[in-house]
Chains A and B, each alone.
Chain A
Amino acid sequence: MAPSSGRRSAPSKEQLEDRNTVGINKETVTNTVSTDYPDHFLDEDHAWDVDHFRDNFHIQFHQNDQFDSQFSLIGLDASVANAFRRILIAEIPTLAIETVFVHNNTSVIQDEVLAHRLGLIPFQGDKKGLRDFLKPFVKPAEGADQYSTTFDFNTVCLKLNVECTHNKDADPNEKDPKKLYHNAHVYAKDIVFDPVGDKQPEIFSGEGIIKPTNPDILIAKLRPPQVINVEMHMHKGIGADHSKFSPVATASYRLMPTIKTLQPILGADAKKFQECFMPGVIELEKVTKQEASKKGSGYEGHQGELKAVVANPMHDTVSREVLRHEEFEGKVKLGRRRDHFIFSVESTGQWDSDELFIESVLTLKMKINKLKPQVTNMVRNF
């Protein structure tokens, strides 16, 4: 233990586990509030100590695909975990369509609805360019020229120009509009990137070109001779302003479920017990000779019978189904670990999901760094 933590006496392992478990009963929850503060327990010091935190905090990855990752943060308080989650959703900037200039739109979709649909399409492009080259857009001052703050380093231009025409080669009996006409369906992939300035064509070229993450998003359906001809300006923004700027499809966490069997559950009961949970959570094992011969274990004389064993509580949904059955009363205790957060981050495509989490931590740090001089400044002027 770190000497600087000044901890006077350590609580037992069971005590710690009890404190870290939120109890889940049939109709109620217990022990929901964290108690790791100084003066909460007599003779225990819970003062903040980085070294102590470093020793006790760890991260476990469960899945790490490009756009979908799951990992556990263990040894953290809910307030901090929640800060990361909130930043993921609302404060990490992404690029999205902000302004749509409608040159011509004879489709059945109204201009404003079309503009809204376009805004929600997620785009991707060269990561470095998106993160470092592009800067947030600053709105021009009132009365100033509309484009006085529009530059190649804060605006990306896109074009969408499609006209629906008859397909001369189509079979006369053809019923499928996609074969009967050209451009009957307008997809996200029909949007073209239109680089401006010196650097944009360089940065956003090849693999790094600005394009929709999902090319097959349907934007509109057309019939001859309908036309959509629009130009779009993309800006960088944050999810707090509009959810189209949110870099995540979902970013959520749940607490690690705990299932404790207090008495042996055997035979037919074990099977029923297993079915009360999600698949994989409870496994059935045979009672060994050793267990059966051990007095007071509850397994005496049950050698060879099936017993229920908690295998993987992480997959449980904590449905509390098991608490509805009389035969399990007093035999099982459900709970959740207060300091074990199973995060799930699903990216919309502009960032990799593991990068996103790191970015959320850095964003919180940046927030703090901006406030530090402010606090100093405040003291000077108080």
Chain B
Amino acid sequence: MPSRAKSPEDASMEDVAAAAAAQTSGQKPAVSMSGENVGGLEEDDLDASGEAAEPEVEDEEELQRVKILPGSSETAASFEFLEEGHTLGNALRYIIMKNPDVEFCAYSIPHPSEAKMNIRIQTYDTTTATAALEKGLQDLEDLCDVVSEKFWKARDEFNATKDTAMQE
């Protein structure tokens, strides 16, 4: 593995981080990622009257929280999640590691005072990193369904036995 300190990859990563910071700070909406927030009108509005309540609410809903970090290829990619932490990171890492097409998966929180979580996925050429991420999310959702289904059943059974015990 090349040394991480001087690679051109890192330089471009910093640029992107700076751009993201500018975007999230809300002062100047950078180029819209979703394509729905196009046009300079809103920008002017913001400059004139500070932040209006309306666009802020909208922003929250359509803010793109996942992105691919620079230097990623089809089968080896790093994803950045905003507003996520260990809760999702570790669980997602586990379920992605369970995928036989994945060679490597790890997550990290680069800095504790930034609400960011990075996931690195490297796959064999039988799939792509993005596909592995999508499968991971789906698998984790399936897991949740099984847990809640079984939990409710176990609870009802336990309460039923408790009730009959009390009646006797």
Q: Do A and B come from one complex?
A: yes
Residues of chain A having any CB pair with chain B under 8 Å: 36-39, 45-48, 50, 53-54, 57-61, 64, 71, 73, 76-77, 79-80, 82-84, 86-87, 90-91, 138, 140-144, 148-149, 354, 357-358, 361-362, 364-365, 367-369, 371-372, 374-379, 381-382
**Complex alpha-carbon distance, A374 and B67, angstroms:** 9
Contact, CB under 8 Å: A86 / B151: no
> Which residues from chain A contact B86 at a C-beta distance below 8 Å?
82, 86
Closest to B81 in A: A371
Contact, CB under 8 Å: B137 / A368: yes
Contact, CB under 8 Å: A83 / B87: yes
Interface-centre pick from A45, A47, A142, A374 (highest chain B CB count, 10 A): A374
**Complex alpha-carbon distance, A357 and B89, angstroms:** 20
Contact, CB under 8 Å: B99 / A47: yes
Q: Provide a sorted-by-A list of 27 A–B residue pairs whose CB atoms are within 8 angstroms.
A: A37-B97, A37-B98, A38-B100, A45-B100, A53-B143, A57-B146, A60-B154, A61-B158, A64-B158, A90-B87, A141-B50, A141-B56, A143-B50, A149-B53, A354-B151, A354-B155, A358-B148, A358-B152, A361-B151, A362-B148, A367-B88, A368-B144, A372-B134, A375-B130, A378-B64, A378-B79, A381-B34
Q: Which of A37, A48, A50, A71 is B154 in contact with, Cβ under 8 Å?
A: A71
Shortest beta-carbon distance, B102 to chain A, in Å? 8
Summed over the interface, the residue pairs from A and B with CB atoms below 8 Å come to a total of: 152
Contact, CB under 8 Å: B66 / A371: yes
Shortest beta-carbon distance, A70 to chain B, in Å? 11
Closest to B49 in A: A143
> Which residues from chain A contact B154 at a C-beta distance below 8 Å?
58-61, 71
**Complex alpha-carbon distance, A128 and B140, angstroms:** 28
Interface-centre pick from B68, B144, B151, B158 (highest chain A CB count, 10 A): B144
Q: Mark B138-166, 1 if CB is under 8 A from A, else 0.
A: 11111111111011111101110010000
**Complex alpha-carbon distance, A90 and B115, angstroms:** 15
> Which residues from chain A contact B162 at a C-beta distance below 8 Å?
64
Does B93 touch A at the CB level, under 8 Å? yes
Shortest beta-carbon distance, B69 to chain A, in Å? 11
Contact, CB under 8 Å: A50 / B34: no
**Complex alpha-carbon distance, A259 and B150, angstroms:** 28
> Which residues from chain A contact B93 at a C-beta distance below 8 Å?
79
Contact, CB under 8 Å: A371 / B137: yes
> Interface residue tally of chain B, by bracket?
35 or more
Closest to A62 in B: B158
> Which residues from chain B contact A379 at a C-beta distance below 8 Å?
130
- Given contact pairs A364-B140, A371-B137, A142 touches B67 in the complex (Cβ within 8 A): no
Closest to A64 in B: B158
Q: In terms of DSSP, what is the predominant structure of the interface of chain B? A: helix
Closest to A55 in B: B146
Residues of chain B having any CB pair with chain A under 8 Å: 33-35, 49-53, 56-57, 64-68, 79, 81, 84, 86-88, 90-91, 93-95, 97-100, 130, 133-134, 137-148, 150-155, 157-159, 162
Closest to B147 in A: A361
> Which residues from chain B contact A144 at a C-beta distance below 8 Å?
52-53
**Complex alpha-carbon distance, A374 and B34, angstroms:** 10
Contact, CB under 8 Å: B94 / A80: yes
**Complex alpha-carbon distance, A102 and B68, angstroms:** 49
Contacts A57-B147, A143-B50 known; list 14 others, CB within 8 Å. Answer: A39-B100, A46-B98, A50-B142, A59-B151, A61-B155, A77-B94, A79-B91, A80-B95, A141-B53, A148-B53, A358-B148, A372-B134, A378-B79, A381-B34
Contact, CB under 8 Å: A357 / B88: no
Closest to B146 in A: A54
> Which residues from chain B contact A64 at a C-beta distance below 8 Å?
155, 158-159, 162
Closest to B60 in A: A138
Contact, CB under 8 Å: B146 / A50: yes
Closest to A83 in B: B91
> Which residues from chain B contact A364 at a C-beta distance below 8 Å?
87-88, 91, 140, 144
Contact, CB under 8 Å: A377 / B64: yes
Shortest beta-carbon distance, A197 to chain B, in Å? 20
> Which residues from chain B contact A38 at a C-beta distance below 8 Å?
98-100
Contact, CB under 8 Å: A368 / B141: yes
> Which residues from chain B contact A369 at a C-beta distance below 8 Å?
141
Closest to B55 in A: A141
Shortest beta-carbon distance, B146 to chain A, in Å? 5
Contact, CB under 8 Å: B68 / A378: yes
Contact, CB under 8 Å: A82 / B64: no
Shortest beta-carbon distance, A377 to chain B, in Å? 6
Shortest beta-carbon distance, B43 to chain A, in Å? 16
Shortest beta-carbon distance, B147 to chain A, in Å? 5
Contact, CB under 8 Å: B100 / A368: no
